[in-house]
Amino acid sequence: MIEVLLVDDEASLLDVTKIFLEKGGMMKITTSLCAREALDILKTRDFDVIVSDYEMPQMNGIEFLRVIKETYPHIPFIIFTGRGREHVAIEALNLGAAFYLQKGGHPRSQFAELRNMAEQAVSRKRAELALQRSEQRLSDIINFLPDATFAIDREGRVIAWNYSIEEMTGVPALKVLGKGNYEYAIPFYGERRPILIDLIFESSEDIAKRYYGVVHKKGDLLIGETDLPRLKGQKAILWGKASPLYDHEGHIIGAIESIRDVTERRRIEEALRESEARYKGIVDTQEDLICRTLPDGTHIFVNPAYCRYYEKPCHEIIGSRFRPRIPPEERDLLRKHFASLSKKNPAGYIQHRIILPGGEVRWQSWTDQAIFDEKGEIKEYQSVGRDITDIVQAEEAVQMANRKLSLLYGITRHDILNQVTALMLYLEMAKERSNNPVMVDFIQKIELVGQNIERQIEFTKEYEDIGVHAPLWQNVQEVMQRAMQGLDLSKIDLQCHTGDLEVYADPLLERVFYNIVENALKHGQRVTTLSIGITMSSYGLILHFEDDGAGIPYEEKEKIFEKGYGKSSGFGLFLAREILDITGISILENGEPGVGARFEIFFPHGTYRNQQAPDCPP
């Protein structure tokens, strides 16, 4: 359907013209008796073509045409007038009228010709608009390509210069469009010279002869890389791809080239190669056993130390499912270890025995990390191990010595406490029988000394147990529950958010939790809430105990961990720090005085697993 705006000051002519033009149902006619009224209609509606008389009051057809071309330049305009004046026709066509038709003659043929002119004008304008839109889409596509892109015609004139190449060269499109004589080479080489895009117009033989190994041809594409350009004064490595431009008949009418600055990528690749070479050198000289294996056990990498340890050449291990001999009673432990590795918990540590080819049984420790593909499935394991037989044997010797010392200390402690108990009884009897106030005072002071001796001896019992047993993985929630059993928590709101967190620590970890919570209950003034949770940092995991009491003054934050400092024995927090330090775990108080105390236990990487997400409730 073609929308036509018909303008004529003769009402009867408007009616008859409308009737003739709407025959066939292809046109819809809107009429107007003057140009000014037509302009008002145009403000509210769109039309495909305007047909206007020339001689009209207030504004004639030529004046109307001028306004239309200024305001609605895309609408075709036809002058349909009863007076045949040559200068009017020339002026109308010069102003951009699509057609000029003089009224008169046979009505049917005249209106048929007018309809034909309207259809042609609309068809032509629609084709022009479609071409413009197509060219605009093509221009937009080129402009917004991520790679720097430009195009030239057969004469070497620049016909496209996109935003990315403006940014790369610092040369705006307005300064280069339409220019030839290798203008496009200046931003890259500082001179006018042929570049990759110009080779499009040369024969394949000439390209192969002159640029062998530098330029590669792939079908119509030419691909090349060079380190000669200087972009904005800086040396650059550029990768380019050029292609011919064809017309609808298949003739080459120009060429287009995309350029990518690969300087940084080449620098990174070179650095990566150097890093890999250094890494290989480091790995090859390591005495640790290093290997990479597929989930089915196939070895894809081993270092020389691994091969020496198992007394096998590397080429016999790589590509095979070589498996060291494991004592039967430890195979289930190994299976559970690898089964525990997940995307959430990809790394794990294990110690186990191994049987060497000669039959010797040795101890090993391994840190294994699972590597996952994009589907979340394990694609390989990266493992680092070492022989710890000497360490295990030394630990066993130390444990044996500790057991003997512990027995000796227990007997000695028991004997001393018996003697102190007897001393305290004698002092009590002496105090009852003495009437001398000065002597009673002396006796009381001696009693205080005796009580201090008892506390010191009890402390040696607790301190004796630190580090005696090997560290192990412990579920924080379970340890916390055991620690709380001997405490009265009826007057506080306890919130614990640790999930399935497990930590690698001394078996006395329960004592650490007990001492921290007991400290809050005993010394934290006005404590009504105790919150236990975890947060993550780039260095590891923080387990925090936070209360709403009076807090700890800044000048006492370190003193509270000193031996003997405090209102009671002064051993609780000192012991907590000593127990944690066994496995490299640290503790500090980081609360706000007047707001509450906050004890933070820091677990470095490798000493925790199954942690919750970083947004775990505080």
Kindly report, residue by residue over 210-235, the tens digit of the pLDDT: 665 578 888 888 888 888 888 877 88
Lowest-pLDDT choice from 28-37, 121-130, 155-164, 391-400: 391-400
pLDDT above 90 covers a percentage of the chain that reads: 30
Kindly report, residue by residue over 66-114, the tens digit of the pLDDT: 999 999 988 999 988 876 677 888 888 888 888 888 887 777 888 888 8
Give the predicted TM-score (pTM) of the model: 0.38
Separation CA 419–CA 453 (nearest Å): 11
The residue with greater pLDDT, 428 or 618, is 428
- Helix axis angle, 572-581 relative to 437-464, nearest 10°? 20
pLDDT of residue 410: 57
Please, what is the average pLDDT of the chain?
84
Residue 611, pLDDT > 70, answer: no
Instruction: Take residue 214 and report the two structure tokens written for it.
Output: 């530098």
Strands of the sheet with 540-547, listed across from one edge: 493-497, 529-536, 540-547, 598-604, 586-589
Kindly report, residue by residue over 529-544, the tens digit of the pLDDT: 999 999 988 889 999 9
pLDDT of residue 612: 60
Which of 7, 87, 96 has the alpha carbon at shortest distance from 47? 7
Strands of the sheet with 158-161, listed across from one edge: 158-161, 148-153, 252-261, 238-246, 221-226, 215-218
Kindly report, residue by residue over 347-386, the tens digit of the pLDDT: 999 999 999 988 899 999 999 999 999 889 999 999 999 9
Kindly report, residue by residue over 244-280, the tens digit of the pLDDT: 888 878 888 889 999 988 888 888 888 888 877 777 7
pLDDT of residue 205: 73
From its phi and psi, is residue 233 left (phi > 0), alpha (psi between -120 and 50) or beta? left
What are the beta bridge partners of residue 458? none
The residue with greater pLDDT, 449 or 187, is 187
Separation CA 572–CA 455 (nearest Å): 12
Residue 403, pLDDT > 90, answer: no
Kindly report, residue by residue over 318-339, the tens digit of the pLDDT: 999 998 899 999 999 999 999 9
pLDDT of residue 39: 93
Please compute the mean of the pLDDT values over residues 398-420 and round it to a whole number: 63
Which of 505, 511, 498 has the alpha carbon at shortest distance from 542? 498
Q: Where are the domains of the chain?
A: 2-140, 144-266, 286-387, 392-453, 472-609
Question: Do 144-266 and 286-387 have matching folds?
Answer: yes
Residue 47, pLDDT > 90, answer: yes
CATH 2.40.240.10, domain 144-266, yes or no: no
Q: 3.30.420.40, 3.40.50.300, 3.40.50.2300, 3.40.50.150: which CATH number matches 2-140?
A: 3.40.50.2300
Question: For 613, which DSSP code?
Answer: P
pLDDT of residue 570: 52
Q: 3.30.565.10, 3.40.50.300, 3.40.50.620, 2.40.50.100: which CATH number matches 472-609?
A: 3.30.565.10
Q: 3.40.50.720, 3.40.710.10, 3.40.630.10, 3.30.450.20: which CATH number matches 286-387?
A: 3.30.450.20
**Cα dihedral 549, 552, 558, 561 sign:** negative
